[in-house]
Amino acid sequence: MNKFLIVGLGNIGTEYSGTRHNIGFDVADCLVAKHHGVFQSGRLADVAELKLKGKKLIVLKPTTFMNLSGKAIKYWMDKEQIPMEHVFVILDDLALPISRLRIRGTGSDGGHNGLKSIQEQLGSVQYPRLRFGIGADYPKGRQVEFVLGKWDKNELPIIKSKIDKSVECVESFVLQGLAATMNMANKLEFS
């Protein structure tokens, strides 16, 4: 059976719930709920196992906090013997407008601490990731407050729509591969 590691990045704790920085957790929650899975507390992460047309998905929400996400990913990749090309990381991205998703098979950390940690632990930038645009609508010097802030009410319909589409992207990645998923997702515009 083909195995995939699907990782939503975020921070544990109720104070981070529903924040822009936790969108990876929100997508992971939506994916697991859609496929009637349940998260269990595991080593370095909350973990759910799903089956999708003969494929096994290990869905992770690292409990290490964002800056140490790589530790959880490395542990579960090794434990489950999952190759790097079967890892799919979902994260927030300030550099993308709120109307966009972007999927890449490689790339820099772009200043994202979660990606920095993954790169350090894996010794590579060659792993697929879905960047969930959160925009950069904040005053100079207020980046941290913005990223750790909750969505505005008027943003919620777009965010809900993008979360649903992100779940479809995960399913597409598992069933049709990276190239087909990039073609589908990277041209989408949400409004």
pTM for the model:
0.96
Percent of the chain at pLDDT exceeding 90: 93
CATH topology of domain 3-185: Rossmann fold (3.40.50)
Domain spans, the chain: 3-185
| Average pLDDT value over all residues in the chain | 96
Choice among 21, 35, 36, 86 that is catalytic: 21
Q: Is 21 a catalytic residue?
A: yes
Residue 95 contacts residue 12 (beta carbons within 8 Å): no
pLDDT average, residue stretch 51-68: 96
Residue 1 has pLDDT above 70, yes or no: no
DSSP H helical ranges for the chain: 23-34, 69-80, 113-122, 143-147, 156-176, 178-185
pLDDT tens profile 29-38: 999 999 999 9
pLDDT tens profile 80-91: 999 999 999 999
State whether residue 4 is helix, strand or coil: strand
Q: Any idea what DSSP says for residue 23?
A: H
* Phi-psi region at 60: left, alpha or beta (left = phi > 0; alpha = psi -120 to 50): beta
Residues contacting 174, CB < 8 A, separation 6+? 2, 4, 6, 52, 55, 57, 88
